């Protein structure tokens, strides 16, 4: 409570034979808080013969919404106990406001009669997740069909949108991909060297960086960066188009949103990812070489030769192959949440967050599956 504790009570209770009178006094201001209705209800308990709740306003000073809120709350509680409420003695303005507030029948905010048990609270999200999984699978199927139609030249989409998507997922992402992967290569070299120097095997930092970056980290880090960059962007753009009824407009024009909006984005991202990862690999190797030469005092030629010996073609191809899948995952996830976005600005934010979180999760899960798979296949 604010200052209401230190000031005299703004009302006193005056019980009469079958009426409980609430005598309002002094100024009522929101800055002093809204008095609780508890004492009045306790007064009603103490006067069981009271059939009516009424007010006295002589001595009432300036008032604002705090008075109206107090009377409104009190009237609701009193009526719930079967008492009559008489507001006729209130100032005319306050009385009209209370009448206005009470004229609108209360509507339940949520779906009425919703089961609140633990089972229901666990079950509802579980059923929603199940429905989302089914819906996402259907969307994936639709996307694959649209991609096949696009590759066969039968999809209806704007060529310029495809080119834009190539630009957005390729050239525009070079800067951040380069920086992240250069730093990852450098960190990997540094952390590896700290361990390897104990065995006099510092030169093997080159093996660690080359295989680590080309096989795993180049694709993984680029996938994560692209999820935050491109996946989020797709979700926000398509989500906004959904809110603005642009997606509906496409449908009523007989165009399929998955063909027109999703397929070009997925194709562009999946195709640009290997190119980005090839670039990321080079930057990662450069990051490692930079640390090796400048901090670990290894010779440039020596380091490059060791890298060349360590880096079998299969490591590079595995990284590039994975990146193709990661690209597909990032773009499909972003587009899915965008197209399934609700119809408000908040829904766009929610769709974007979900697209990034789910995109990163799926990229990491896919990477784990690939790692096991390649291990089993002795690749």
Task: Kindly state whether residue 251 participates in binding another protein, applying the rule CB under 8 A.
Answer: yes
Among 13, 255, 286, 324, binds another protein (CB under 8 A): 255
Task: Kindly state whether residue 312 participates in binding another protein, applying the rule CB under 8 A.
Answer: no
Give the C-alpha separation, 80 to 101, whole Å: 16
Q: Between 102 and 156, name the residue whose CB sits nearer to another protein.
A: 156
Q: Between 82 and 110, name the residue whose CB sits nearer to another protein.
A: 110
Q: Which among 89-97, 252-260, 268-276, 297-305 is the span making contact with another protein, rule CB under 8 A?
A: 252-260
CB 279, CB 240: distance < 8 Å = no
Q: Is 130 exposed, middle or buried (0-12, 13-18, 19+ CB in 10 A)?
A: exposed
Record the tokens describing residue 105, joined without a space. 């029948």
Q: Which among 80-88, 200-208, 237-245, 349-357 is the span making contact with another protein, rule CB under 8 A?
A: 237-245
Among 115, 175, 252, 313, binds another protein (CB under 8 A): 252
Q: Which residues of 357-369 are buried (b: 16+ CB within 10 A; e: fewer)?
A: ebbbebbeebbee
Q: Between 78 and 241, name the residue whose CB sits nearer to another protein.
A: 241
Task: Kindly state whether residue 109 participates in binding another protein, applying the rule CB under 8 A.
Answer: no
Q: Between 112 and 117, name the residue whose CB sits nearer to another protein.
A: 112
Of 299, 271, 92, residue with least CA distance to 203? 299
Task: Kindly state whether residue 135 participates in binding another protein, applying the rule CB under 8 A.
Answer: no
Give the H/E segment covering residue 52: strand 52-56
Of residues 157 through 176, those in contact with another protein by CB under 8 A are: 158, 161, 164
Task: Kindly state whether residue 246 participates in binding another protein, applying the rule CB under 8 A.
Answer: yes
**Minimum distance of another protein from residue 240's CB (angstroms):** 8
Cα-based angle 176, 299, 285 (whole degrees, multiple of 5): 20
Contacts of 362 (CB under 8 A, 6+ apart): 329, 333
Binding site for another protein (CB under 8 A): 111, 156, 158, 161, 164, 241, 244-246, 248-249, 251-255, 260
């Amino acid at each position: 409570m604010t200052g209401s504790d230190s000031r005299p009570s703004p009302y006193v209770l005056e019980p009469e034979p079958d009426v409980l009178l609430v005598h309002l006094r002094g100024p009522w201001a929101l800055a002093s808080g809204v008095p609780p209705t508890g004492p009045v209800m306790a007064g009603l308990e103490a006067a069981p013969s009271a059939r009516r709740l009424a007010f006295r306003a002589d001595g009432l000073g300036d008032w604002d919404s705090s008075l109206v809120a107090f009377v409104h709350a009190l009237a609701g509680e009193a009526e719930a106990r079967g008492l009559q409420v008489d507001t006729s003695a209130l100032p005319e303005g306050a009385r009209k406001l209370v009448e206005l507030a009470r004229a609108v029948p209360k509507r339940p905010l949520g779906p009425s009669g919703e089961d609140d048990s633990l089972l229901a609270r666990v079950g509802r999200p579980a059923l929603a997740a199940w429905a989302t999984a089914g819906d996402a699978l259907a969307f994936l199927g639709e996307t694959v069909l649209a991609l096949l139609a696009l590759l066969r030249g039968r999809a209806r989409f704007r060529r310029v949108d495809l080119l834009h998507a190539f630009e957005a997922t390729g050239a525009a992402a070079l800067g951040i991909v380069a920086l992240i992967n250069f730093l990852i290569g450098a960190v990997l070299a540094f952390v590896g060297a700290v361990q390897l120097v104990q065995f006099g095997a510092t030169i093997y930092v080159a093996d660690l960086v080359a295989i680590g970056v080309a096989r795993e980290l180049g694709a993984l880090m680029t996938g994560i960066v692209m999820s935050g960059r491109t996946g989020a962007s797709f979700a926000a753009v398509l989500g906004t188009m959904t809110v603005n009824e642009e997606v509906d407009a496409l449908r009523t024009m007989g165009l399929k949103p998955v063909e027109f909006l999703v397929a070009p984005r997925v194709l562009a991202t999946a195709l640009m990812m290997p190119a980005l990862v090839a670039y990321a690999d080079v930057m990662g190797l450069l990051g490692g070489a930079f640390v090796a030469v400048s901090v670990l005092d290894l010779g440039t030629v020596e380091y490059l030769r060791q890298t060349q010996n360590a880096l079998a073609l299969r490591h590079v191809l595995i990284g590039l192959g994975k990146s193709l899948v990661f690209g597909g995952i990032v773009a499909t996830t972003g587009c899915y949440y965008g197209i399934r976005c609700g119809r408000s600005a908040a829904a766009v934010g929610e769709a974007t967050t979900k697209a990034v979180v789910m995109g990163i999760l799926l990229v990491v899960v896919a990477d784990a599956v690939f790692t096991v798979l390649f291990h089993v296949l002795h690749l």
